[in-house]
């Protein structure tokens, strides 16, 4: 629990609130906002918007729906690439620790070999999980320290329940609204 509080405090200290407030002044919030009931309709709308020339299309949803994520064509987070090298380092450290300890403390039991791999796999697995999770935590903190991603939706837009929101900043309200309504949007509004 203390670790969670520390992570929240450290990541919140890394953001400059005044700069974030300036970044989201009223001139940057202009665009078209639509609400969708199904992920398929939202994905179809995003694809149609991209085909019509709108490149900056953003989405907010209660869960990462695969069809919407594919339509957005966003790159994966680089934080995920810290886990595998961390786990590999943990396996190497686990085998080095157990084999090194066995060779330094010659404890021969019943004529069995001093370096016996099967019992060492357990320690290596545990260290792989431990070091991999620590590497992921360090990458997460480093990503949060550098500011992370900017806010993707205007303040006050709520799409965390059962609706999917699609926002097109700086878009022509008439053209984007027609495309969104044709794709099955429940509500389309011009955010000014």
Residues in the chain: 192
Domain that holds residue 84: 79-145
Could you tell me if residue 24 is inside a domain?
no
* 68-123 per-position pLDDT tens digit: 888 988 777 777 788 999 999 999 999 999 999 999 988 877 878 888 889 899 99
**Are residues 56 and 106 both part of a single domain?**
no
What is the spatial distance between Cα 94 and Cα 57, in angstroms, rounded to a whole number? Answer: 46
Q: Counting beta carbons within 10 angstroms of the beta carbon of residue 137, is it exposed (0 to 12), middle (13 to 18) or buried (19 or more)?
A: middle
28 pLDDT higher than 60: no
The verdict on residue 154 lying in a domain is no
**Beta bridge partner(s), residue 31:** 169, 191
Please say if the pLDDT value at position 44 is more than 90: yes
Q: What is the pLDDT of residue 148?
A: 56
- Do 84 and 139 belong together in one domain? yes
Confidence of residue 21 (pLDDT cuts 50, 70, 90): very low
Distance CA 14, CA 89 (A): 29
Q: Which residue has the higher pLDDT, 26 or 59?
A: 59
Q: What is the pTM of this model?
A: 0.58
- Residues 84 and 141 both lie in one domain: yes
How many domains does the chain fold into? 2
Q: Note whether 61 and 158 are within 8 A (CB).
A: no
Q: Indicate if 170 and 136 belong to the same structural domain.
A: no
The reply to whether 151 falls in a domain is no
On whether both 55 and 101 belong to a single domain, the answer is: no
Whether residue 9 lies inside any domain: the answer is no
Per-residue pLDDT at 19 exceeds 90? no
**Measured torsion, CA atoms of residues 129, 135, 141, 147, in degrees rounded to the nearest 10:** -120
Q: Residue 73 domain-assigned?
A: no
* CATH code of 191's domain: 3.30.70.260
Taking only the tens place, the pLDDT of each residue in 136-184 is 999 988 877 766 555 567 665 677 778 888 888 887 788 888 899 899 8
Residue 42 vs residues 60, 85, 181: alpha-carbon distances, Å: 10, 36, 11
57 near 166, Cβ under 8 Å?
yes
């Amino acid at each position: 629990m203390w670790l969670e509080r520390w992570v929240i405090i450290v990541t919140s200290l890394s953001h400059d609130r005044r700069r974030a407030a300036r970044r989201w002044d009223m001139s940057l919030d202009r665009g078209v906002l639509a609400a969708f009931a199904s992920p398929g309709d939202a994905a179809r709308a995003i694809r149609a918007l991209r085909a019509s020339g709108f490149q900056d299309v953003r989405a907010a949803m209660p869960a990462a729906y695969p069809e919407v994520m594919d339509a957005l064509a966003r790159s994966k987070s680089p934080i995920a690439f810290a886990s595998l090298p961390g786990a590999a380092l943990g396996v190497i450290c686990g085998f080095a620790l157990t084999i090194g300890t066995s060779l330094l403390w010659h404890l021969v039991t019943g004529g069995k070999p001093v370096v016996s791999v099967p019992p060492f796999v357990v320690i290596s697995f545990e260290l792989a999980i431990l070091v991999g999770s620590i590497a992921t935590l360090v990458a997460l903190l480093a990503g949060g320290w550098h500011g992370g991603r900017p806010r993707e939706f205007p303040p006050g837009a709520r799409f965390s329940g059962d609706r999917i929101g699609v926002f097109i900043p700086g878009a022509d309200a008439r053209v984007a609204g027609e495309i969104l309504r044709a794709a099955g949007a429940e509500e389309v509004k011009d955010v000014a």
